[in-house]
Structure 1
Amino acid sequence: MIELRNLTKSFRTPAGRKVLFHNVNAVFPEGKNIGILGRNGAGKSTLLKIMGGIDYPDSGQVITDQRISWPMGLSGGFQGSMTGRENTAFICGIHGIWGRAKHKILDRVQDFAEIGDYFDAPVKNYSSGMRSRLAFGLSISVDFDYYLVDEVMSVGDAHFKHKCEQVIAEKRKTSNFIIVAHSMATLKKNCDVGIYLGPGGLQIFDTVEQAITLYQQGVPKPK
């Protein structure tokens, strides 16, 4: 169960305070893969960060009995002077993963990220693509009930995108996904239900196709 209860989130801009969510109440469908759509600035990534525990609402809360990942591909949480291996070991410690289990995850992340010797180099020397590979590999190597995916499949070459799709397909057998993506094909392929963030607030639909239809109605057509 994932419930948003009286969730309010805003932030300051040069033009004043922008409110993304105001007293939002919603219960996400259980056991479903969920696609989240909305125009740029609607709060999609912010919502994932709040659910993943790396950002906080102004008021209200996320109530859940599920183990929820941090957003896949989010590399901003790495410590730049530490290596990829050290960052991975540190995050394992935060989640209480030690001993053989930790070394198993280190091997998984190194294998999946495909960054070679850079795994033992400071993260501050990584390209943005390498950071995303490391972040995705780390996210997928830890077991969660729900994985949060934020545009990670748009990063990297065709080979890496294919790997991402394969591992998501495998994880879907035992876990669920909440995905933010601008690719309608990705959402249709991986999601059962849809959430649309728009002028009417947060709306939950029984199918992702319904949410896509509403989203596309509000997207300007190319000239």
Structure 2
Amino acid sequence: MIVLRNLTKTFYTNGVRKTVANNINFTFPTGVSVGLMGRNGAGKSTLLQLLAGTTEPTSGEVLTTGSISFPVGIASSMHPHLSGAQNTRFVARIYGVDTDALVEFVRDFAEIGHHFDVPVRTYSSGMRSRISFGINMGLKFDTYLIDEVTAVGDANFIQKSRDVFNERMRSSGAIFVSHSVGQMRQMCNAGAILENGTLTYFEDIEEAIAQHEHNMSKGLK
């Protein structure tokens, strides 16, 4: 499980103070795929970064009893001057897994041909997403952090991503960000809404979707 204890994150943009997490006390349960919802700019991606430890909170802490993946999605970064294969090998060494096995898994999953062996700086955002998602799914975590990645690509890639994700969910949980209600229904059991720095949890994804749509229809700030 992942425990947020008095978690606060505040930052300034153009001199304007914004709080995306306001003293949140919350526990993400073990082995559950949670759809994280909220309007644009609510701080969903920032929250994922806080959970992964790639962004420091202003105050409070994130505690976990298991392993958490790095956030994967369109914005996920890889070293631009290394190839997809080299980035994959680098991650494999960090996590102490079989390098060749992870490279072959990602190569097969991404299906980008010879581009897998050329610098990432030449990739489209979709190609970066395929590699990032493949690396993430090729590693074993107790909780996966997914940010919109399966919305990238054609129908075959979306289905392939979903199949791999569902396979991982047999023994793991996830926190899944997507603007697609359909994807939330297909890939999540429960839901959480981030609104004005507050996180509200729903055991039923349909209840979360209904509340999120209500929030959006009311135009809450």
* Alignment partner of 1:132 is 2:129: yes
The residue aligned with 1:20 is 20
Shift of 1:136: 0.6
Secondary structure of the residue that 1:27 maps to in structure 2?
strand
What amino acid sits opposite 1:27 in the alignment? Answer: T
155-164 or 15-24: bigger deviation: 15-24
The one-letter code sitting in structure 2 at the alignment partner of 1:164 is: S
Distance in 2 between residues matched to 1:67 and 1:206, nearest whole Å:
22
For 1:197-216, what aligned pairs fall within 5 Å after superposition? 197-199=194-196, 201-216=198-213
Conserved 8 A contact 1:75-1:135: no
Query: Does structure 1 retain, via aligned residues, the 8 Å contact 2:80–2:119?
Result: yes
**Matched position secondary structure for 2:71:** strand
- In 2, the alpha carbon distance for the partners of 1:163 and 1:155 equals 12
**What displacement does 1:53 show?**
2.2
Structure 1: gaps (5+ residues): none
Deviations 1:44-86 (A, max 9, x none): 1111111122222112111001111112225542111111111
Taking structure 1 as the reference length, the TM-score comes to 0.93
Aligned residues: 218
> Structure 2: how far apart are the matches of 1:32 and 1:160?
24
CA deviation profile, 1:115-146 (whole Å, cap 9, x unmatched): 11111101101111110111011110011111
Q: How is 1:138-149 mapped onto 2 (pairs within 5 angstroms)?
A: 138-149=135-146
TM superposition score normalised by structure 2? 0.93
CA distance in 2, matches of 1:214, 1:7: 23
Partner SS state of residue 19, structure 2: strand
Long gaps (5+) in structure 2: none
CA distance in structure 1 between the aligned counterparts of 2:122 and 2:96, rounded to whole angstroms = 28
1:192 aligns with 2:196: no
Displacement over 4 Å in runs of 4+: none
Task: Report the CA distance shift for 1:58/1:199 in structure 2 as closer, same or farther (over 3 A).
Answer: closer
Task: Please show how residues 1-223 of structure 1 align to structure 2 within 5 Å.
Answer: 1-74=1-74, 76-97=76-97, 101-199=98-196, 201-220=198-217
Q: Alpha-carbon deviation of 1:176?
A: 1.4
**Cα distance in structure 1, aligned partners of 2:177 and 2:75:** 16
The one-letter code of the counterpart of 1:82 is L
Give, in whole Å, the separation in 2 of the partners of 1:220 and 1:209: 16
Q: Following TM superposition, by how much is the alpha carbon of 1:173 offset from its aligned partner in structure 2, in angstroms?
A: 1.3
Q: Give the share of equivalent positions with the same residue, in percent.
A: 44
Structure 2 distance, partners of 1:200, 1:137, is: 31
Task: Supply the distance in 1 between the matched residues of 2:63 and 2:21 (Cα, whole angstroms).
Answer: 16
**More displaced stretch, 15-24 vs 152-161:** 15-24
State the AA in 2 paired with 1:59. Answer: S
SS of the residue 2:69 aligns to: strand
| Aligned-partner Cα distance in 2 for 1:200–1:84 | 36
- CA RMSD after TM alignment: 1.5
